[in-house]
Chains A and B, each alone.
Chain A
Amino acid sequence: MDSLTRGRDDPAKIQIEHLSFSYPDKQERRVNVIDDLSLSLFDHEFLAIVGASGCGKTTLLNIIAGLLPPRVGKLFLDGQEIKGPGLDRTMVFQDDAVFPWYTVHGNVEYGLRISKTKKEERERQVAHYLDLVGLSGCDALFPRQLSGGMRKRVDVARAIITKPEVLLMDEPFASLDVMTKEKLQEQFLKIWNETRMTVVFVTHDLEEALFMADRVVVMVSHPGRISRIVSVPFDRPRTKDLKTFAEFQAMRRDLGHVLDADQEHST
């Protein structure tokens, strides 16, 4: 509910102004992936971005992360222009990004080692965050010894242990089976309720977006742009029963029609 009561004139956590991005295609023509996109994110907000594949949502996330430079437009984090990747914006990827050569412990403490945190403090934090994602006692295991869901939790712990200003999530649960996915959604919401960090959550799963987020940004493609922004009215903490409520299903249906129209348009 926070996002509804919060006024538009609150200072934005992330400000995206007239962002355009294009990839060169094989004939060296520019293909517009994102066209003149502006968006504000509030502090402590859980924002989901949904859209069909190819609508530029992952590209947008990579630009916020600083992994890709915007072609036109500017991005600000707390009023500072984003110029490259940094510890203040960590990311959870769709693919398996856990380093196979480090143990669970080594993976989770990675960001703390980069920021030169003292060893005792690192140990304390790693223990805390492993507990938070339910992986206590797995410290010494290598990623190959874990299931996909467990590896994803390592990835989440690794990204949030640095206490980023903004956590970027690129379809983090898309490759998991339905049961693991639901479990991780609930677990992550619980963690989020305790930490209230700002989250940008990219997904193509409308149910997931409505279940997790305060606001849902719907993007359409060719070129990638925002079609509408929907505030999600459901109270927190949310449990998975919420997904069966009529109001929830009605919202899901409406958003579905928007995406379907975009799909038909492009094919």
Chain B
Amino acid sequence: MRDKKNLSLETGRSRLSDFLPKIIVPFGILTLWIVVSELRLVRPIFVPPPENVWKSFVGMYRLLPKAILTTVVMTLSGFGIGVGFGTISGLVMAYNKAIRDFLGTIFDFTRPVPVFALIPLFILWFGIGRAPQIALIALGTSVVLGVTTLEAIRNVPTIYIRAALTLGAGRQRIYSTVIVPYIVPHLIGAIRVAAAASWGLDVAAEFMGSQTGLGYLIVMQQIYLRTAGIVMLVAIYSVLAVIFDTLIARLEERITPWTERRSSIGVVASIVGSG
């Protein structure tokens, strides 16, 4: 019993020390911000004081729910399509050589192309509205995931495949019972990077001819040189992105309870940064 109590104390303490930086850092930035603007170190047009940001929030708050909803729906649709398409392309590329040669070449050509440069073309092809924006986000995400998936499959240790083969598994079975479970934790990193990128892609997409959404509101604020409004909207984007990233991390813990990482403790954990 006493051991158990000690253990919980231990974790309780580490939780607090984990939590502290997350309070101190934003608080420090806020203080710095207040000091800078109160002392008029920088002109308010560049760094608006906190109260102006708050005022612009109050002034715009009726517009915000709809804008946030539009942006979230748009980003998540593009991200979802991109992750799905990218992962499936990676899997079929590994499965079949003909598909690999074909799709692989397409990926090789599209990967280095700056996606933002395609925005005018997308508007031309898909028109103004949600379709080109979702397509843009989906493209950006799927390229990252297609390449990562293929790479992760190539790294599956052969011992697992040999074991499955001697236990009578065929090609398809090996894909569903060995390759997919093995690559999932390896894809999470790419998925988080892609998630972060998809918010950026959304902003870019909304800059080019959108009628609603947070990115559109940013453009409007920019036209009237309302820096406070821009800061406020950027903050909302950040909050959305952080929430989304946290959700993905939580989901990962749920679906991959088996990874070695979960059991690293002590010095090893401190070296690999998982403690």
Contacts and interface: CB of A to CB of B under 8 A. Distances in A.
Interface in A72-120: 85-87, 89-91, 93, 95-97, 99-102, 110-111, 114-115
Contact of A87 (B168, B181, B260): B168
Interface string B140-169: 000000000000000000011011111111
A162 B168 contact: yes
Interface in A116-161: 142-145, 158-159
**Considering residues B167, B168, B173, B182, which has the most beta carbons from chain A within 10 angstroms of its beta carbon?**
B167
A168 interface: yes
- Main SS of the interface on chain B? helix
Contact of B165 (A85, A99, A115): A85
The residue in A89, A97, A143, A158 that gathers the most chain B C-beta atoms within 10 A of its C-beta is: A97
Interface string A215-235: 000000000000000000000
Interface in B217-275: 256-260, 262-263
Contact of A114 (B159, B173, B258, B260): B173
B220 to A, nearest CB: 49
B263 A93 contact: no
Given A95-B159, A144-B260, A85 B166 contact: yes
B149 to A, nearest CB: 17
B110 interface: no
Nearest to B260: A144
Contacts of A145: 263
Given A97-B159, A99-B178, A99-B181, A144 B262 contact: yes
Given A142-B257, A162-B168, A93 B162 contact: yes
Given A99-B178, A101-B258, A144-B263, A93 B163 contact: yes
B182 A87 contact: no
A50 interface: no
Nearest to B184: A101
A86 B263 contact: no
Nearest to B261: A144
A189 interface: no
Interface of A is mostly: loop
A97 B177 CA distance: 14
A90 B260 contact: no
Given A93-B162, A99-B160, A162 B258 contact: no
Contacts of B167: 87, 90, 110-111, 114, 158-159, 162
Contact of A97 (B160, B181, B257, B258): B160
A63 interface: no
A168 B256 CA distance: 31
12 contacts: A65-B166, A67-B165, A67-B166, A87-B168, A89-B166, A90-B167, A93-B159, A97-B162, A97-B163, A101-B181, A110-B177, A158-B167
Given A66-B166, A99-B177, A102-B181, 16 more contacts: A65-B166, A66-B165, A85-B165, A85-B168, A86-B168, A89-B166, A93-B162, A93-B163, A97-B160, A99-B178, A101-B256, A110-B167, A111-B167, A111-B168, A144-B262, A168-B166
10 A-B pairs closest in CB distance: A87-B168, A101-B181, A97-B163, A91-B166, A111-B167, A85-B165, A142-B258, A114-B168, A97-B159, A101-B258
